[in-house]
Amino acid sequence: MKRRALPNVEWRKYLSLSNNTLNEYLRDYGYDYFNGIFELISHAQTNNLQSVVMIEFAKSDVVSVVDKSEYPLVLQRLLILCERLEYYEICAQVLNYQNMSSKSKVTTTKKSHKELTIK
């Protein structure tokens, strides 16, 4: 069975303070919204997923898809937004995750020669 393509909206619009509709939503559900995005993106990045649906609108077929190459950008924008709105617990989670993932990317190099010891 062929999968139907869903209309995709730009994810950046939903991680922005200039979206008035989103700002109203964030007053009541901000912590859950940001925490959900953090968990989704960190899971997708950890499991090397090619893309992930960040937002799925309830009464329509419209989604907001984030590609693998944009995961770090989503986390950075999430960090800035959480800092401005004073969701410091989520800021800490994002920073810890970024630090952990940057440490895991550091690889050790193998020595291609033997050490010479002179006695």
> Which pTM was predicted?
0.78
Written as one letter, the residue type at 16 is S
Per-residue pLDDT at 35: 96
Per-residue pLDDT tens digits for 42-67 = 999 999 999 999 988 887 888 889 99
Per-residue pLDDT tens digits for 1-18 = 445 556 678 888 888 888
Residue 39 has pLDDT above 50, yes or no: yes
- Beta carbons within 10 angstroms of residue 93's beta carbon: 20
Domain boundary assignment for the chain: 11-102
Greater model confidence, 91 or 22:
91
> Rounded to whole angstroms, how far apart are CA atoms 55 and 64?
5
Q: In the predicted model, what is the mean pLDDT of residues 24-47?
A: 93
Smallest CA-to-CA distance from 54 within 37, 71, 70 is with: 37
- Beta carbons within 10 angstroms of residue 57's beta carbon: 12
Per-residue pLDDT tens digits for 77-111 = 999 999 999 999 999 999 999 998 877 765 544 55
- Within 13 Å, how many C-alpha atoms sit on residue 45's CB side? 23
